[in-house]
Chain A
Amino acid sequence: MQPSASLTRRLAHRIFLSRQGRVSDGMYAVMFLAPVLIILVVVIFYPLGRVLAYSVTNANLLFPDRETYIGLDNFDFLINQDQIFKTAVKNTLVFTLASVAGGFSIGFMLALILNEKLPLRNVLRGVALIPWVVPGVIVALMTLYMFNGEVGVINYTLRSFDLIDENIPWFGSLDHAMWAVIVANVWNQTPFYMLMLLAGLQTCPDDLMEAAKIDGAGSLARFRYVTLPHLSKVIMIITALMVIWNFNNFDLIWTTTQGGPVNSTMVLSVYTYRQAFISFQTGYASAIAVLWLLGLLAFSYFYIRAMES
C-alpha cells in the first residue's frame, strides 16, 4: 500500500514550516536584505543624520569642515525673522492642496466614466495615462510655452471666448504664476488618481451594486453608500501619498519659475535648494529640513490616527 498522497504532503508541510522557523531563516534574511539596507543607509539615512547634525551649525558648502556649532540660531532666525520662509510654507500649502484637490476630482470623474461600458474604452484609458509619463521638466517647458504671455495658446483661447480682454503675463505676474504652475501639475498627476481609482472601481462587487439598485437606491445613493465605502482605503492611501509628493515637488517649479516672480511661487523645496546650492548655506538649509521633517511627522501621525478611526 502506498502512503496516501495527502499524508506525505502534510508531512512535508510540517518539515517546511519547522525549517522556516530555524536560525537559517535569520541568516537568509540578513543576506537577502543586506543590499537594500546598505543602499538606503548610504543614500538616505546617513545623509539624513548629517542634516540633523548640520542644522545646529553654520556649515557652508564652499568651505567644508569649517563649520562651528551655533546652537539654535538657525531655527531662531527661521521662525522669527525669515519672511521668505513663511511665504514658502504658505505657498507650499496652497500648491499642495490645490493640486491634490484638482487632480483628485478630475481623476475621479475620469475613472467613473471610463469604468462604464464605452466604445474604445481601452484606448481612452491608455491615452489618459500619457500625462503621467511626461517628465516633469518637459511638462514645465510645455507650460512655459502654452502660458507664454504673447504667443501662448492659453491667452489666445481665453481671449477668443472673451474671458479676458488683454493677455495675462502668466509668469510675470505675482497673482497668476502660481495658478499656471498648479494647472500644469494637475495635468501631470490626474492619470495617477485615475489609474488607482479605476483599479479600485474594478474590484467593486457587482452584486452589491445590483442589490442597492433593487432596493431602489438612486445613482447618488449608490455612489455614496456602495462605491465610496469600497474605495475609501484607496482614497486614503493615494491622497496621503500625493500630499507628501506634492509637498516635495521640485522639478516643475524650479524649471518654470525658480520660485519667482518675487517669491510668489517660492515653495519649500525650491527655497531649501536655493539655500543649499545657490547661497551654499548648508547649515541653514538643514535647519529648514529639520522643521520640514517635524511637519511631515506631525502630518503622518494625525493622518494615521484619522485613518484608524
Chain B
Amino acid sequence: MLARLDFDLDQYPRFKSTAMAILLVVMMLFIFFPTFWMLSTSLKPNEDAFAVPPKWVPETVTLKNYETQLNDRSGFRNYFQNGVIVSLGTALVSIIVAMPAGYAFARLRFRAKRTLLLIILASQMFPAVIIVITLYSLYREIKLLDSYAGLILAFTSFSIPFSVWMLRGFCESVPEEIEEAAFVDGCSRIGILWRIVIPLIRPGMIAVGLFSFLNAWNNLLFALSLTTRLDMRTIPPGFLLTYVGEFQYKWSDMFAGSVLVTLPTVILFIGLQRFLVRGLMAGAVKG
C-alpha cells in the first residue's frame, strides 16, 4: 500500500483529466437523468409515456398536461395555494422566533446557556413519526387540526434547531465593537438587535427562510397526519392521494404537476444556496 502512495496523478495530466471526465459524465448522468426524464415525460401525450422503447425526447410536444394541472381548481391549484401559504408562513415565523434566540446564544450571558442550546439542538433528532403519534391527539383537543396555524406551528418546530444554530453563528460574526459603539450611544439591547445586528446578518435570515420554506414545502408526514379535510392538503399529501391510487397511470399529468412544484424550489435554492452554505459554515466554525 505504502509503495503506491507516491504515485502522483498530477504527473499524468492526460490520464487524470480523462478519468475525471468519465467519472463526471457518469455521475452527472445519474444526477441529471431523472430530472430530465420528468421534464420530458411532462411534455408528452400520456400514451407516449407508456412507449417501449422509451421516447427519450418527446416526439409530439404538448403543454396540455400543464394546462390540465393549472385548471384543476379542487386539486392541483388548491394544494399549490395551501403549500405557498403554509411554507411562506413557516419561513416568516421561523425567522421571527429564531432571530432573537440566535442572538441570545451568541451574545447574552445567562444560566444554563449550554444546556438550553443542547436541548434545542437535540430536539432535531427526534423522529417526526414519533412526535406525530400524540401531536395528532393534542391538535384534536386544542382544535388545530385542519388549520394553517397548526401546520405552520408544526413545521416551524422542525426548522427551529437548525435556524437557531445558524443565526447564532451569524450573530457571532458581527464585530462586538459595533454593538459597543451603539451601546455607548444609548442604544438598548433590543435597539442593538433591531438596528445593528439584523441589517448585518440578512444573509443568515435568508438562509433560515429558505431552509424553513423548503422543509414545509416538502413535508409529507405532518401535512398528511394533521389534516383530514381534502381542501387543507398541501402538495405532498395532495399528490400522494391523487397519484398513488386513483390516477396512478396518468404519468404525464403527474410529471407536469411535479415540474410545476419543483421548479420554484430549484430556482429559489440555486439562487440562494450560497447563503445556506455560508450559514452552515458559520454555525460550524464555533462548533
- 1/0 per residue, CB under 8 A from A, across B187-226: the answer is 0011000000000000000000000001001101100010
Taken together as a complex, chains A and B put the C-alpha atoms of A255 and B96 apart, in Å, by: 33
Quick check: B104 and A40 within 8 Å, CB to CB? no
How far apart are the CA atoms of A139 and B220 in the complex, in Å?
12
Contact residues in B for A136 (Cβ distance below 8 Å): 218, 220, 236
A268 and B127 alpha carbons, distance in the complex (Å): 10
Partner of A32, one of B7, B108, B184, B266: B108
**How many interface residues does B have (CB within 8 Å)?**
104
CB-CB under 8 A for A219 and B160, given A251-B220, A269-B127, A277-B225: no
What is the bound-complex CA distance between A30 and B27, given in angstroms? 49
Question: What are 26 sample pairs from A and B whose C-beta atoms fall under 8 A apart?
Answer: A12-B180, A19-B183, A25-B109, A32-B100, A36-B97, A36-B160, A42-B157, A51-B130, A51-B131, A129-B269, A131-B34, A133-B214, A135-B235, A137-B218, A137-B237, A191-B31, A199-B281, A203-B281, A219-B7, A220-B7, A233-B287, A237-B284, A247-B127, A269-B127, A289-B129, A300-B125
**Which residues of the other chain, A, contact B137 by a CB distance below 8 angstroms?**
50, 61, 64, 282
Extra pairs beyond A36-B97, A39-B157 (14, CB < 8 Å): A9-B177, A61-B137, A106-B30, A130-B35, A133-B214, A134-B266, A135-B218, A145-B41, A146-B37, A151-B51, A195-B277, A218-B9, A276-B132, A282-B134
Q: Which residues from chain A sit less than 8 Å from chain B, CB to CB?
A: 9, 12-13, 15-16, 19-21, 24-26, 28-29, 31-33, 35-37, 39-40, 42-48, 50-51, 54, 61, 64, 106, 109-110, 113, 116, 118, 124, 126-138, 140-142, 144-146, 150-151, 153, 156, 187, 190-191, 195-196, 199, 203, 213, 216-221, 224, 233-234, 237, 244, 247-248, 250-251, 254-255, 268-269, 272-273, 276-277, 282, 285-286, 289, 292-293, 296, 300
Q: A43-B157, A127-B28 are in contact. Are A141 and B258 (CB under 8 A)?
A: yes
Which one, A113, A129, A250, A286, contacts B270 given CB within 8 A?
A: A129
Digit string of B159-173 for contact with A (CB within 8 Å is 1, else 0)? 010001000000000
Residue B175 interfacial (CB < 8 Å): no
Report whether A142 and B34 are in contact in the complex, using a CB–CB cutoff of 8 Å. Answer: yes
Interface pair A28/B104, CB less than 8 Å apart: yes
CA–CA, A101 and B261, complex, Å: 29
B27 and A110 within 8 A (CB): yes
A151 touches B270 (CB 8 A): no
- The answer to whether A199 and B280 touch across the interface, beta carbons within 8 angstroms, is yes
Q: Are B154 and A43 in contact (CB under 8 A)?
A: yes
The answer to whether A31 and B269 have CB atoms under 8 Å apart is no
Once the chains bind, are B101 and A33 in contact (CB under 8 Å)? Answer: yes
**B109 contacts A138, C-beta separation under 8 Å:** no
